[in-house]
């Protein structure tokens, strides 16, 4: 293939002469390899005729762009001729901007940074149009405007092109037909270098300002969330081309590809479906307003002044301006600009043409104001013409369209120019749609046939709305057929009144007209329009929007899910203590200031000879709810220390309270005594010898990256036997005599119950950590994709199932279920080294299973670092421990209850660290100095027949 | 992703679906159909429609088979076997119709592979990255692209730009000029006939370096676009290791402040490339209008380049302009010229001339050299023209006699005179 020499530096053409002498490559054609095969095979299989269009050939006169004709597009072609320009051989015009010179030449700018002049663009024969290169070497050119500007006492026409990073005026000062002078007009916006940061434009308002819009960036790792990492990404800017002064105009956009003014001076903008954009919106842009995508809020004064960053995953509280029109998904995924229709184009009143580049449609959009809000209708005009992204009208009513879809795909043709002209046979179409009180008024381009029956069956109405959320696009929600009560025709038979009394605001309406025929005898060319009902026309007003914020995911199921039982089963395993025993206890009848203990399992008491220690948890906890059940003897005293630092007093008051005491439930005074003890708000303590439940909703202190505290520890609420005894207490320092010292605060710390200050009995000790409702999935890849286990290996191989045997492991509704006799299942990839795995797990009563990391087959077993999954099976090693190495014996999770398990394996200088967390609490932190397992699979074990283990949302993260 | 030699990897050689057999599974009939079609796909396909004879056919062979097979197995249930979105699975929104194009995140191999691996969070599109090897993911992406009729990208050759017989300005993002330098989203390459390219970052118009060779590759003409240019010339001169210091200015009794250069215009007529820029003080005050010409130079001494600055200054004060020596060089000071030994051999000879108005000399201009490079300091009011000439003599000897010195000066003066743009005469 010959090298592509551009004629950079060579301009042998006179102004206006067609370009010829260039060494070029053969023009590329559409390539359809595999698709043809599959389509043909499918056709064979189903008997349907494969739909294939003729690829477009260059150089031949084309009256029609005939890509995949349908009945409708054939009918459209009777009214609108679409012709394709012949672009210079070897050149690819990926159009980004279109405008007209005063001398009638068409100017075209492209994504390749070229600007072309087209002479005779309106010649009768489209092949007579002549292209000459005016400029090249620009950094894209996705907007262009030829603007009349003051020049001394008169005016001149200036040619502005919008590059990715600059608004530039091009001038040909030496008159050789090439713009050798590039004047920088404005570049006051940010570029981070992200590929997606296009700049689009470039309409002008009646004061001669130019408008441009800037895309967000899509960056790794969460590349599905648009971000505004450089100045004014996601904004519309207004530029005074004479001074370069740039004014931020509006924000809240994502990929705002099309800008244009309508005849009423409204700036209209199309954005692209994606995150926070349910479908393709057409906005009537409001100056200074937020239009929906939160990323660009970062550049508003509120956010800038306070150094805030808007979340791109949580909806913002900032009021948003809704789109005037939502274009239904089947008509558009990506739209370009809108341009008002001149009367010379067709029989339409006060409406616009919109470019659509994925389906390749030209659409009609019409707007009105209802209840002070801009809204309106959209419907097709001329479909499947190619990936048109820019449209502009010539004075004679010719519509010129520029094409491109490189990088995202769409209907071919994917580049070049086309023009659309009326054939002279006007179509029978819906002209204007107005929302009126109680329904719609639809005006047609001609009177309808006399005697045409008109009634409720003439129209059907479907309403729907969308979700407003970070997820990519939204399906139509709440689709509802709305009854049409009646329909009537005006006397001149040009206006149909459709009664839809139950029409709702803040929803779109898809209206289909049936059996409507014009007096010409032609049926309606397009029978369906979509109207966005932001407000009703009956004088009511709603604050709701069509795209409704979706409620957050439902909270975790109530009940025991999410709790960790710290004293169940092996009651002492989760605690460091000496002198405590599991016994039965009640008040000693002979000495009610102490307990009588007998062998049993109902209480933990610090009965030890010598001096018992405090009862201190083995593990460290943070924010969450602590549940401590206690019993005091007469005059007894103890205390409960959250994180070992924030204390609630437990003092029995049978014989009165000592001077320093404030009773059971009091918060002890602070370390430096600056904050006195706080007595409980209510007197809920009912005396010695009774069991009481103390619950503390605790919020751990927060620290910044340097370890300085940013938020105090807080008791959100403290309850004694259900009664609220404290609410919203902040600790500027720990309680006196807490662990560490006055300044020693931590995000995770042990739960300690004082055991050195007198006898105290404990029983149910539980903790429910605060968890995120939806933990981030950033960097976490799901191990279970699709609904089968392709790629997973079984050991023994029979566990994969056969004709006689069910498989031991299968996927049921997204849950991996393991049953049957002992078996293992290994992940497809076996090269995990430093890795984290997390899942929600549930095991039945008597079941036993394991989650292994760095697993490999050894003989007839699978070995690796095994996180135990066991509630009640005889094996003393329970959930939360590292099997065989660092077991956990307490029964943290009840049988049949979902819990979250996370296992991290990391190579460290002195060994391999294995961390296991249950419901977010680290219960195993073990260093394997022998480095037994270097790498391997993720595996799951099913231990014995009768056990059933279920795993949901199994995800892995390489580190 | 290293593999431990100790842990043997075993994989099931055949990817089989592991559904529990369900008697009421209504998919059994289409499953047989799928199996038949799958079989058809792995045999060499019969082309139902001829494609262009001159269209290069990529290596469809085995990779396409894997991609097609995996597609039928994993994707067709939602996207349909033809990729038209008409799969059997009922979803809350239509699965992408690849035949209609319009991919969520782009239709490049990279973008489709990433979508297959990660899924699209918040939609029914799941992630397959942990179930599939990377080469299978890529085969899938290639197959999806065939379904979508993605037109071929511009080839390597098509994106290479070369300068012909007139200067060329090329705007685009620039990659780092050296390992330690940053990338520049707003960049400029000025390419001259003969192969010299001047590389600027636009925000302050700092000259980063000079290259020799072809101009650049427009990689942003492929895929989704937006990537940096790939300058093709070899770096023959680097200004301060690619991250140069700005010009400075000091008012008569004030501190020295950095000057911001703000681009006003780029001109590339046949006669030569010029940049017009404003020199601004930090508070935005206009200090001077500058026109910068760059040109290639050839002289009896050797080849090189010239930078001519026509400075129309306003306020009283002094400008200080610095041109760094190529890194890794030892400097020998010669007063009116600096001679710097280059890493790759030979020397770099930098000389300067200047004019103020019509005067040929100006005693208030200082040209001095330092170990880091050559420095021009001059008053900031009035109009002055400076030419900094950088030559790379192939062979260099210090002039030993007054005659040799005179000869050298004459050669250099001639080179300077030739380098001045006609416009300024």
Query: Averaged over A919-931, what is the pLDDT?
Result: 94
How would you classify the pairing of strands A637-642 and A646-651?
A: antiparallel
Angle separating helix axes B28-42 and A34-46, nearest 10 degrees = 140
Q: What percent of chain B has pLDDT over 70?
A: 75
Residue B31 has what pLDDT?
34
Is the pLDDT confidence value at A525 over 90? yes
A846 Cβ contact list (under 8 Å, min separation 6): A872, A873, A895, A946, A947
What are the chain A neighbours of B147 within 8 Å (beta carbons)? 34-35, 38
Residue A470 has what pLDDT?
82
Partner residue opposite A35 with nearest CB, options B4, B73, B149: B149
Residue A70 has what pLDDT?
66
Query: Averaged over B312-328, what is the pLDDT?
Result: 78
Query: Distance between CA A414 and CA A410 in Å, rounded?
Result: 7
Give the tens place of pLDDT for each residue, A739-779: 888 888 999 999 999 998 889 999 889 999 998 877 788 88
Give the tens place of pLDDT for each residue, A110-160: 999 999 999 999 999 999 999 999 999 999 999 999 999 999 999 999 999
Query: Distance between CA B262 and CA B58 in Å, rounded?
Result: 48
Tell if the CB–CB gap between A407 and B169 is shorter than 8 Å: no
Is the pLDDT confidence value at B359 over 70? no
Partner residue opposite B158 with nearest CB, options A4, A782, A793: A4
Is the pLDDT confidence value at B155 over 80? yes
Is the pLDDT confidence value at B61 over 80? no
Cα A7-A10-A15 angle, rounded to 5 deg: 105
Cβ neighbours around A959 below 10 Å, total: 11
Residue A812 has what pLDDT?
82
Query: Nearest-CA distance from A272 to chain B in Å?
Result: 10
Which strand (E) or helix (H) includes residue B340?
strand B337-341
DSSP A804: S
Residue A31 has what pLDDT?
29
Residue B60 has what pLDDT?
44
What are the chain A neighbours of B226 within 8 Å (beta carbons)? 164, 194-198
Q: What percent of chain A has pLDDT over 90?
A: 68
Write out the two tokens for B165.
């017989």
- The CB-side HSE value for A475 (13 A sphere, CA atoms) comes to 13
Query: Averaged over A693-709, what is the pLDDT?
Result: 94
Report the residue of chain A nearest B77, measured CA to CA: A786
Cβ neighbours around B38 below 10 Å, total: 16
Mean pLDDT of chain B: 76
Confidence of residue A314 (pLDDT cuts 50, 70, 90): confident
Mean pLDDT of chain A: 87
A327-358 core/surface letters (b: 16 or more CB in 10 A; e: else): bbbebbbbbbbbbbbbeebbbbeebbbbbbbb
Q: Scanning the structure block, which residue is given the tokens 């205390």?
A: A639
Partner residue opposite B18 with nearest CB, options A26, A183, A801: A801
Query: Nearest-CA distance from B391 to chain A in Å?
Result: 25
What are the chain A neighbours of B20 within 8 Å (beta carbons)? 801, 806-807, 810, 812
Which phi-psi region, left, alpha or beta, contains residue A857 (left: φ > 0; alpha: ψ -120 to 50)?
Answer: beta
Q: Residue B33 in 3-state DSSP?
A: helix
Query: Distance between CA A842 and CA A426 in Å, rounded?
Result: 68
> Closest by alpha carbon to A159, among A90, A92, A102?
A102
Whether B159 and chain A come into contact, CB under 8 Å, resolves to yes
DSSP B73: I
Query: Nearest-CA distance from A247 to chain B in Å?
Result: 18
Chain B interface disruption, residue of A52, A56, A163, A180, most B CBs within 10 A: A180
Residue A39 has what pLDDT?
32
Q: What percent of chain A has pLDDT over 70?
A: 91
Confidence of residue B41 (pLDDT cuts 50, 70, 90): very low
A50 Cβ contact list (under 8 Å, min separation 6): A39, A40, A42, A43, B48
Query: Distance between CA A606 and CA A598 in Å, rounded?
Result: 13
Lowest mean pLDDT among A63-77, A385-399, B217-231: A63-77
Give the tens place of pLDDT for each residue, B387-410: 888 888 877 888 889 898 888 888
How would you classify the pairing of strands A835-843 and A921-928?
A: unpaired
What are the chain A neighbours of B120 within 8 Å (beta carbons)? 224, 472
Report the residue of chain B nearest A46, measured CA to CA: B33
Q: Residue B35 in 3-state DSSP?
A: helix
Domains and CATH numbers, chain A: 65-124+139-422 (2.120.10.30), 430-549 (2.60.40.1220), 564-769 (2.60.120.560), 781-958 (2.60.120.560)
Angle separating helix axes B134-147 and B61-70, nearest 10 degrees = 90
Query: Nearest-CA distance from A938 to chain B in Å?
Result: 11
Query: Distance between CA A111 and CA A114 in Å, rounded?
Result: 7
Whether B250 and chain A come into contact, CB under 8 Å, resolves to no
Q: What residues of chain B, 67 to 96, have a C-beta less than 8 Å from chain A? A: 68, 73-74, 81-83, 92-94
> Closest by alpha carbon to A163, among B232, B154, B170?
B170
Partner residue opposite B33 with nearest CB, options A45, A801, A956: A45
Residue B17 has what pLDDT?
22
Most confident of A331-340, A769-778, B413-422: A331-340
Lowest mean pLDDT among A600-614, A755-769, B1-15, B260-274: B1-15
How would you classify the pairing of strands A809-812 and A761-769?
A: unpaired
CA A10 to chain centre: 49
Tell if the CB–CB gap between B68 and A472 is shorter than 8 Å: no
Query: Nearest-CA distance from B135 to chain A in Å?
Result: 13
Whether B108 and chain A come into contact, CB under 8 Å, resolves to yes
B262 Cβ contact list (under 8 Å, min separation 6): A184, B204, B205, B277, B278, B280
Residue B130 has what pLDDT?
62
Counting one residue from A and one from B, how many pairs have CB atoms under 8 Å apart? 352
Confidence of residue B335 (pLDDT cuts 50, 70, 90): low
Q: Scanning the structure block, which residue is given the tokens 């005050």?
A: B285
Tell if the CB–CB gap between B263 and A197 is shorter than 8 Å: no
Is the pLDDT confidence value at A662 over 70? yes
Q: Under a CB-based contact definition with an 8 Å cutoff, are residues B76 and B69 in contact?
A: no
Domain locations in chain B as residue ranges: 61-147, 154-237, 245-424
Whether B422 and chain A come into contact, CB under 8 Å, resolves to no
Query: Distance between CA A267 and CA A265 in Å, rounded?
Result: 6
Query: Nearest-CA distance from A463 to chain B in Å?
Result: 16
Give the tens place of pLDDT for each residue, A556-580: 233 478 899 999 878 889 999 989 9
Write out the two tokens for A805.
């045997």
Query: Averaged over B292-297, what is the pLDDT?
Result: 91
Q: What percent of chain B has pLDDT over 90?
A: 23
Query: Distance between CA A491 and CA A777 in Å, rounded?
Result: 62
> Closest by alpha carbon to B237, among B161, B343, B354?
B343
Residue B52 has what pLDDT?
35
Lowest mean pLDDT among A148-157, A309-318, A541-550, B108-117: A309-318
Residue B330 has what pLDDT?
54
Confidence of residue A951 (pLDDT cuts 50, 70, 90): very high
Cα–Cα distances in angstroms (integers) from residue A351 to residues A261, A264, A325, A363, A433, in the given order: 11, 11, 13, 10, 11
Query: Averaged over B366-387, what is the pLDDT?
Result: 80
Instruction: Judge: domain B61-147, CATH 1.10.760.10.
Output: yes
Query: Averaged over A207-215, what is the pLDDT?
Result: 97
Q: Which residues pair with B278 in a beta bridge?
A: B262, B289
Query: Nearest-CA distance from B267 to chain A in Å?
Result: 4
Query: Averaged over A502-508, what is the pLDDT?
Result: 97
Q: Scanning the structure block, which residue is given the tokens 């105290």?
A: A760
Write out the two tokens for A106.
């068409």
Q: Tell which wins on pLDDT, B333 or A627.
A: A627
Chain A interface disruption, residue of B3, B12, B42, most A CBs within 10 A: B12
Report the residue of chain A nearest B268, measured CA to CA: A180
Tell if the CB–CB gap between A33 and B51 is shorter than 8 Å: yes
Confidence of residue B416 (pLDDT cuts 50, 70, 90): confident
Tell if the CB–CB gap between A857 and B93 is shorter than 8 Å: no
B58 Cβ contact list (under 8 Å, min separation 6): none
Residue B340 has what pLDDT?
73
What are the chain A neighbours of B73 within 8 Å (beta carbons)? 790
Residue B43 has what pLDDT?
32
Query: Nearest-CA distance from A716 to chain B in Å?
Result: 33
Query: Distance between CA A747 and CA A375 in Å, rounded?
Result: 52
Whether B185 and chain A come into contact, CB under 8 Å, resolves to yes
Query: Nearest-CA distance from B201 to chain A in Å?
Result: 12
Residue B386 has what pLDDT?
85
> Closest by alpha carbon to A622, among A920, A918, A891?
A920
Is the pLDDT confidence value at A520 over 80? yes
A575-592 core/surface letters (b: 16 or more CB in 10 A; e: else): bebebbbbbebbbbeeeb
Q: Tell which wins on pLDDT, B153 or B12.
A: B153
Partner residue opposite B10 with nearest CB, options A2, A407, A793: A793
Query: Nearest-CA distance from A225 to chain B in Å?
Result: 10
Q: Tell which wins on pLDDT, B145 or B77.
A: B145
- The CB-side HSE value for B250 (13 A sphere, CA atoms) comes to 10
Partner residue opposite B165 with nearest CB, options A10, A195, A934: A10
Most confident of A225-239, A305-319, B127-141, B236-250: A225-239
Give the tens place of pLDDT for each residue, A902-920: 999 999 999 999 999 999 9
Is the pLDDT confidence value at B54 over 80? no
Q: What is the DSSP string of A763-776?
A: EEEEEEE---SS--
What are the chain B neighbours of A479 within 8 Å (beta carbons)? none
What are the chain A neighbours of B202 within 8 Å (beta carbons)? 165-166, 187
A788 φ, ψ (degrees, to nearest 5): -145, 175
Is the pLDDT confidence value at B424 over 60? no
Terminal alpha carbon distance of chain B = 65
Give the tens place of pLDDT for each residue, A719-743: 999 899 999 999 999 998 888 888 8
Cα A412-A417-A418 angle, rounded to 5 deg: 85
């Amino acid at each position: 293939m010959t090298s592509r020499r551009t004629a950079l530096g060579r301009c042998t053409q006179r102004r206006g002469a067609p370009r010829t002498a260039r060494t070029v490559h053969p023009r590329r054609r559409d390539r359809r390899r595999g698709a043809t095969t599959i389509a043909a095979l499918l056709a064979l299989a189903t008997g349907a005729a494969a739909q294939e269009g003729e690829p477009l050939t260059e150089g031949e006169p084309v009256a029609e762009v005939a890509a995949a004709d349908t009945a409708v597009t054939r009918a459209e072609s009777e009214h609108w001729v679409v012709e394709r320009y012949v672009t210079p051989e070897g050149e690819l015009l990926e159009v980004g901007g279109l405008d007209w010179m005063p001398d009638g030449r068409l100017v075209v700018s492209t994504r390749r940074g070229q600007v072309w002049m087209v002479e005779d663009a309106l010649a009768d024969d489209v092949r007579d149009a002549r292209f000459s290169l005016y400029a090249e070497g620009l950094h894209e050119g996705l907007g262009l405007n030829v603007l009349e500007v003051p020049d001394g006492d008169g005016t001149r026409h200036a040619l502005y092109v919008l590059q990715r990073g600059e608004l530039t005026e091009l001038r040909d000062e030496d008159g050789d037909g090439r713009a050798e002078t590039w004047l920088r007009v404005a570049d006051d916006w940010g570029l981070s270098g992200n590929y997606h940061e296009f700049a689009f434009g470039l309409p002008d308002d009646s004061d001669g300002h130019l408008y441009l819009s800037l895309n967000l960036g899509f960056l790794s790792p969460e590349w599905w969330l648009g971000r505004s990492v450089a100045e004014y990404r996601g904004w519309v800017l207004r530029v005074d081309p004479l001074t370069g002064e740039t004014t931020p105009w509006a924000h809240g956009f994502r990929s705002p590809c099309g800008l244009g003014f309508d005849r009423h001076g409204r700036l209209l903008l199309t954005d692209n479906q994606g995150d926070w954009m349910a479908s393709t919106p057409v906005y009537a842009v409001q100056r200074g307003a937020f239009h929906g995508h939160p990323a660009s809020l970062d550049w508003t004064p509120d956010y800038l002044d306070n150094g805030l960053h808007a979340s791109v995953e949580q909806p913002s509280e900032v009021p948003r301006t809704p789109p005037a029109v939502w274009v239904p998904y089947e008509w558009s995924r990506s739209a370009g600009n809108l341009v008002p229709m001149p009367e010379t184009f067709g029989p339409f009143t006060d409406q616009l043409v919109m470019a659509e580049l994925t389906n390749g449609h030209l659409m009609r959009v019409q707007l009105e104001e209802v209840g002070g809000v801009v809204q309106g209708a959209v419907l097709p005009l001329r479909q499947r013409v190619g990936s048109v992204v820019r449209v502009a009208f010539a004075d004679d009513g010719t519509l010129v369209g520029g094409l491109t879809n490189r990088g995202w795909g769409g209907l071919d043709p994917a580049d070049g120019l086309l023009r659309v002209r009326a054939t002279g046979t006007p179509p029978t179409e819906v002209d204007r749609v107005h929302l009126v009180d109680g329904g719609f008024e639809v005006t047609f381009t001609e009177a309808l046939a006399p005697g045409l029956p008109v009634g409720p069956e003439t129209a059907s109405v479907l309403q729907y709305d969308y979700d407003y959320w970070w997820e990519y696009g939204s399906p139509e929600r709440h689709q509802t057929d709305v009854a049409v009560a009646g329909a009537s025709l005006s006397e001149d038979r040009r206006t149909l009144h459709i009664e839809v009394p139950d029409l709702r605001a803040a929803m779109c309406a898809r209206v289909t007209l049936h059996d409507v025929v014009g007096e010409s005898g032609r049926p309606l060319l397009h029978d369906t329009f979509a109207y966005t009902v932001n407000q009703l026309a009956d004088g009511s007003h709603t604050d709701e929007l069509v795209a409704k914020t979706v409620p957050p995911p439902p909270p975790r199921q109530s009940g025991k899910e999410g709790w960790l039982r710290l004293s169940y089963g092996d009651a002492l395993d989760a605690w460091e203590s000496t002198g405590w025993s599991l016994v039965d206890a009640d008040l000693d009848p002979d000495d009610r200031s102490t307990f009588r203990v007998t062998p049993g399992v109902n209480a933990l008491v610090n009965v030890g000879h010598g001096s018992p220690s405090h009862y201190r948890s083995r593990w460290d906890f943070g924010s969450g709810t602590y549940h401590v059940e206690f019993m005091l003897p007469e005059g007894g005293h103890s205390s409960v220390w959250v994180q070992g630092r924030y204390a609630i007093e437990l003092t029995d008051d049978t014989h009165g309270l000592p001077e320093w005491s404030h009773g059971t439930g009091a918060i002890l005074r602070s370390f430096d005594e600056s904050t006195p003890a706080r007595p409980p708000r209510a007197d809920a303590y009912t005396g010695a010898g009774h069991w009481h439940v103390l619950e503390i909703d605790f919020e751990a202190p927060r620290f910044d990256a340097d370890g300085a505290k940013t938020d105090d520890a807080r008791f959100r609420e403290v309850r004694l036997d259900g009664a609220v005894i404290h609410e919203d207490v902040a600790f500027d320092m720990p309680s006196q005599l807490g662990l560490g010292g006055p300044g020693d605060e931590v995000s995770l710390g042990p739960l300690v119950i004082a055991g050195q200050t007198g006898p105290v009995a404990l029983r149910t000790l539980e903790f429910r950590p605060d968890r995120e409702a939806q933990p981030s999935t950033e960097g976490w890849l799901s191990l279970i994709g699709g609904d089968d286990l392709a790629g997973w290996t079984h050991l023994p191989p029979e566990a994969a199932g056969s004709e006689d045997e069910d498989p031991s492991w299968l996927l049921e509704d997204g849950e991996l279920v393991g049953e049957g006799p002992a078996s293992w299942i290994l992940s497809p990839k076996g090269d995990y080294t430093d890795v984290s795995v997390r899942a929600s797990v549930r095991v039945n009563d008597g079941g036993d299973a394991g989650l292994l990391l760095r697993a490999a087959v050894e003989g007839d077993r699978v070995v690796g670092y095994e996180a135990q999954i066991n509630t009640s099976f005889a094996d003393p090693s329970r959930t939360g421990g590292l099997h065989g190495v660092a077991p956990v014996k307490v029964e943290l999770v009840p049988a049949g209850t979902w819990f979250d398990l996370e296992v991290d394996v990391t190579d460290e200088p002195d060994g391999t660290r294995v961390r296991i967390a249950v419901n977010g609490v680290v219960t195993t932190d073990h260093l394997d100095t022998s480095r037994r397992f270097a790498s391997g699979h993720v595996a799951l074990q099913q231990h014995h027949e009768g056990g059933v283990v279920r795993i949901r949302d199994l995800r892995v993260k390489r580190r | 992703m290293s593999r431990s030699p100790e842990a043997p990897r075993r994989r099931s050689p055949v990817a089989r679906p592991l559904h529990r057999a369900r008697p009421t599974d209504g998919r059994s009939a289409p499953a047989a159909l799928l199996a038949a079609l799958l079989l058809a796909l792995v045999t060499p396909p019969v082309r139902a429609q001829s494609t262009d004879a001159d269209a290069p056919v990529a290596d469809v062979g085995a990779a396409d088979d894997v991609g097609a097979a995996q597609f039928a197995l994993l994707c067709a249930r939602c996207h349909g076997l033809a990729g038209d979105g008409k799969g059997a699975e009922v979803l809350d929104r239509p699965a992408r119709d690849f035949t209609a194009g319009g991919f969520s995140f782009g239709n490049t191999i990279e973008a489709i592979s990433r979508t297959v691996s990660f899924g699209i969070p918040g939609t029914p599109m799941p992630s397959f990255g942990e179930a599939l090897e990377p080469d299978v993911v890529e085969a899938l992406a290639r197959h999806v692209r065939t379904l979508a009729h993605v037109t071929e990208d511009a080839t390597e050759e098509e994106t290479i730009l070369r300068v012909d017989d007139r200067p060329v300005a090329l705007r685009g993002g620039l990659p780092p000029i050296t390992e330690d330098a940053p990338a520049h989203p707003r960049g400029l390459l000025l390419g001259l006939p003969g192969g010299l390219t001047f590389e600027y970052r636009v925000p302050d118009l700092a000259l980063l370096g000079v290259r020799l060779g072809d101009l650049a590759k427009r990689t942003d003409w492929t895929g989704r676009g937006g990537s940096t240019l790939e300058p093709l010339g070899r770096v023959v001169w680097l200004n301060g290791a690619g991250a140069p210091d700005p010009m400075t200015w000091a008012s008569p009794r004030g501190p020295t402040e950095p000057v911001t250069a703000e681009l006003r215009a780029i001109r590339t007529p046949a006669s030569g490339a010029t940049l017009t820029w404003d020199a601004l003080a930090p508070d935005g005050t206009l200090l001077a209008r500058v026109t910068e010409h760059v040109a290639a130079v050839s002289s009896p001494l050797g080849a090189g380049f010239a930078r001519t600055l026509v400075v129309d200054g306003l306020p009283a004060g002094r400008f200080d302009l610095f041109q760094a020596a190529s890194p890794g060089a030892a400097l020998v000071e010669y007063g009116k010229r600096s001679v710097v030994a280059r890493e790759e051999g030979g020397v770099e000879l930098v000389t300067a001339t200047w004019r103020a108005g019509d005067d040929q000399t100006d005693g208030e201009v200082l040209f001095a050299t330092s170990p880091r490079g050559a420095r021009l300091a001059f008053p900031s009011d009035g109009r002055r023209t400076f030419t900094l000439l950088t030559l790379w003599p192939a062979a260099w000897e210090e002039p030993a006699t007054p005659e040799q010195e005179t000869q050298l000066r004459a050669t250099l003066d001639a080179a300077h005179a030739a380098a001045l743009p006609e416009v300024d005469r």
